[in-house]
Every structure is written in C-alpha cells, then in structure tokens.
Amino acid sequence: MKAILWFNNNDIRLVDIPLPVPGPKEMLVKVISCGLCGSDVIEWYRLPRAPLIPGHEIGAEVVEVGQDITQYKRGDRVFIAPKVPCGQCYYCHHGHFPQCTEIKERLPGGFAEYILVPEAIVDRGTYLLPDNISFDESTFIEPLACVIRSQRLAGIKRKQIVLILGSGVSGLLQLQLAKRKECNVVITDLVEKKLSLAQEMGADLALRATDNISERIQLFFGKKADFVILCTSSLEAIDQAWQCVDKGGTIIFFAVPGPEKKVIIPLNAFWTQEIKIITSYYCGPPDIQEAIRLLSEKKIEVNRLITHRLPLEETALAYKLVLSGQEALKVIIKPQLNVS
C-alpha cells in the first residue's frame, strides 16, 4: 500500500509499505479523508518522532476486523482518535485525559491508504460516524473536540467578550463555538479572505492583526476582552494578548511558540489584575463525543472551511499550502483519490 513518510517539511516521501494484517483484537481500515492539522507542520513538535506517517484527523471505512471484534464490521464508517487515555490513572480520574501517563499506543498516521488500528484504540478510540457526517466533515471531529476542551477549561460563558487571535481553522471553530454561547467575538488575522469568512460566520469584529486591537475592542465594547484565545504562535500576537485582556480575564494558549522562543509575562501587572493564563492541549473522550454531536446536529459549519482536497501523491503540496498561511484553511488528503 502507499503511504507518506515525513522526515521534515522539506522531505516528504511517497513510499510503498506492506499491507498490515489485523490480529484477533485489531482491525484494518481504509482511509477516505484525513485532514492536515496545523500541528502537523510544526517541526519542533514532530521531529522527535520522525520519520513518521503523519495525519491524525481521520475518517475511514472498516475493511477487515479481527476474530475477537464484535462491535465493528466491514463497511462501518468510523472516526478514529490518534491516541486514547487509560481512563483509570490519577490524571484521567481528574479529567486530564490528554495528560494520561499510561498511553502506550498511537494510531499509525492517516496519510496512508490503510491503517492497522491497535486493540486499545479499537476499544476506546473508535467512533461510528452518524450517517449525516461525511468523511470530509469527520476530519473536523478532533480539532473541534480540542476547541471544545479549551473553552470548557477556560470557563467561557454566555455574553462574555472573546478575542481570538488567528483566523485559521482553529480560530474559526473557536469563533463558532463562542457564538453558540452568545458571546461577543473579535477575531484577527493578516489575510483578508479569512477575516471576510469570519465576519460571515458571525464575528462581531474582524480586525487586521496589525491594527491597534486593544483600542478597537475598547471603542466597540467599552472594555477589554474577558478571554483571549491564542490560535497563532506569533510572538506579536502574544504581546497583543497581554494588552487586550481585561481585569479578571483569562488568556488561553491554544497554540504556542517554539521552545527556543522566549515569552515574557507581565506578571506584576497580571498579579494586581488577577489575570489567569492557561494552556489547552488535545482533547478527551467527552470532548470527542460533544464534537460528534455538534457536527451531527449541524450546529458548527465546517464545509466552508475546506479549501483543498488532494490525493496522497500531493501531500508535499498540502504542506506548502498550510505553511504559506494564505489561501488554505482545511486541506484534506484523500488517499483513495485517483491521480488523473
């Protein structure tokens, strides 16, 4: 079978590897759609495990199940999580599923024609897709689940002012979820097309990232933001976050800069203003279930975020599109798509 082997963003190879044979408690799935996540192009995050088959936003069809599997059958449409918590450790019991220390297995990447799903992920990380969620839409389950988790950790509630820095896929999902809570939402970016889409999706203000964001928010709402969500790793955006958060507010690091970059926190000012800084990484089973529900009920619009559908052979182009940060939003790899 064909698969993509990623060494770095400039060394992405199409390779032939043996078709896996599932054991008694494993299953083989055919990948129909797999999204290219912004985290897939972050080299400092991915290089420690390179070379690897990338892709973790997966919609697939079951083609073969092991003899001990009864809950799935050939032809089932499924979403598969890239890793699963144990559900039993200290961290899982306290709701910190992404921090589970017992995670032993990861799903092989979705930029391949087929995936062998290991036992643990068959048991706790595979979800039947509702009939009204397409394979392409299923690639948003994991990123939406991460967004759901971040807003829950932050405690975002109705009618609050939310500033989202960055209008990529994550930023636009954050926008839609916050608007469902009837929040007042400001979003920023450097790309006009993304800002126009954000306005169409309900943003109260869609501002160029080079504007005086703090001043614009205060003129419009009469105060600064209750929550600032960083959906970009830009150091300039981090400085904007410091300037735009109101007293008693919260800054959420949904994206982070590379470890070589130094972030200076104005701690003394934040101390007197009781400003919180939190991080949010990945998601847990409850977030995935909520994401599936929202997508199934058509409460979150995702099809308008899809800008490219490419065959496996054009994965290197997909990386270039995402890295450019211009025209592309969600780029989906379609391993079964024939190259004409």
- For 235-319, where are the E strands, in sequence order? 245-253, 276-279, 306-311
State yes or no: pLDDT of 340 exceeds 90: no
What is the rounded distance in angstroms from the CA atom of residue 114 to the CA atom of residue 61?
Answer: 9
How much is the pLDDT for 338?
80
Q: Please write down the long-range contacts of 10-17, taking CB distance under 8 Å and 24 or more positions apart.
A: 12/315, 12/316, 12/319, 14/312, 14/313, 14/315, 17/112
How much is the pLDDT for 281?
96
At residue 94 the predicted structure's pLDDT band, cuts being 50, 70 and 90, is very high
Per the DSSP assignment, residues forming a β-bridge with 6 are 12, 52
DSSP state of 327: S
State yes or no: pLDDT of 154 exceeds 70: yes
pTM higher than 0.75, yes or no? yes
Strands 27-36 and 330-334 turn out to be: antiparallel
Closest listed residue to residue 35, CA positions, set 176, 139, 172, 154: 139
What is the rounded distance in angstroms from the CA atom of residue 79 to the CA atom of residue 82?
Answer: 10
Average pLDDT over residues 113-133: 97
Q: Which tens digit of pLDDT belongs to each residue from 200-238?
A: 999 999 999 999 999 999 999 999 999 999 999 999 999
State yes or no: pLDDT of 339 exceeds 80: no
DSSP string, 107-144: PPPSSBSEEEEPHHHHHHSEEEPPTTS-HHHHTTHHHH
At residue 259 the predicted structure's pLDDT band, cuts being 50, 70 and 90, is very high
Average pLDDT over residues 78-107: 93
The amino acid at 36: L
Please tell me the least confidently modeled range out of 99-103, 252-256, 320-324: 99-103
Per the DSSP assignment, residues forming a β-bridge with 33 are 59
What is the rounded distance in angstroms from the CA atom of residue 50 to the CA atom of residue 180?
Answer: 39
What is the rounded distance in angstroms from the CA atom of residue 284 to the CA atom of residue 69?
Answer: 23
Helix (H) / strand (E) containing 334: strand 330-334
How is residue 206 written in tokens? 């869609």
Domain 2-140+302-334, CATH among 3.40.47.10, 3.90.180.10, 3.40.630.30, 3.40.190.10: 3.90.180.10
| Angle between helices 192-200 and 169-180 in degrees, nearest 10 | 20
State yes or no: pLDDT of 11 exceeds 80: yes
Per the DSSP assignment, residues forming a β-bridge with 187 are 164, 206
DSSP string, 312-326: GGGHHHHHHHHHHTS
The residues, any chain, with a CB within 8 Å of residue 131's CB and separated by 6 or more, are none
What is the rounded distance in angstroms from the CA atom of residue 70 to the CA atom of residue 154?
Answer: 39
What is the rounded distance in angstroms from the CA atom of residue 125 to the CA atom of residue 24?
Answer: 17
From residue 280, give the alpha-carbon distance in Å to each of 59, 75, 88, 202. 24, 35, 21, 24
Q: List the domain boundaries for the chain.
A: 2-140+302-334, 153-279
Mean residue pLDDT across the chain: 97
The fold adopted by the segment(s) 153-279 is Rossmann fold (3.40.50)
The residues, any chain, with a CB within 8 Å of residue 181's CB and separated by 6 or more, are 151, 156, 157, 158, 160
Q: Which tens digit of pLDDT belongs to each residue from 299-309?
A: 999 999 999 99
Q: Which tens digit of pLDDT belongs to each residue from 309-329?
A: 999 999 999 999 999 988 899
Q: Are 58 and 70 a contacting pair, CB within 8 Å?
A: no
Please tell me the least confidently modeled range out of 82-86, 99-103, 305-309: 99-103
How much is the pLDDT for 121?
96
Burial 291-320 (b: 16+ CB within 10 A, else e): bbebbeeeebbbeebbebebbbebbbebbb
Closest listed residue to residue 185, CA positions, set 151, 211, 210, 153: 151
The amino acid at 287: D
Give me the numbers of helices (H) and strands (E) for the chain, helices first please: 12, 15
3-state secondary structure of 219: helix
Query: With pLDDT > 90 as the criterion, what percentage of the chain qualifies?
Result: 96
State yes or no: pLDDT of 104 exceeds 80: no
